[in-house]
Amino acid sequence: MNPALFAGPKAWRLVHLLEQRAYCRLRGGEFDRAQLEFEGLLERWERDPQLAGEAWGWHLAEVARGPLREVLFARVRRLFEREQRSEAEAPRGRGLDVSMLDEVGRRDPQ
């Protein structure tokens, strides 16, 4: 995959693809590699609020609730809280939400 194909307004697609790939690695048993990829995504979203504002985050929320909870949950929660505050201040109609980290409040991809 050539990342240059996802420049500009299409950048969110690359991040979504990276999130999906990390999730597939985890489901395929590549636990360590998946963890590294999720941590890389998390670092990108922590560093770049614009990118985080366009993130879907369903898979990150799922692994933070489950198999990578010990490693990722606290950081993911802080990020989702930041994005939820940002959404409240300037609604975009999408974004990361703390309820995604609750089993009951979970939003599934469509």
52-71 tens-digit pLDDT: 767 778 899 999 999 999 99
- Between CA 84 and CA 70 the distance in angstroms is 22
- Between CA 29 and CA 49 the distance in angstroms is 31
- Low-confidence residues in the chain, pLDDT < 50: 104-110
Model confidence, pTM: 0.79
Tokens of 12: 């969110």
Alpha helices in the chain (DSSP H): 11-27, 31-47, 49-53, 58-65, 69-89
Three-state DSSP at 7 gives: coil
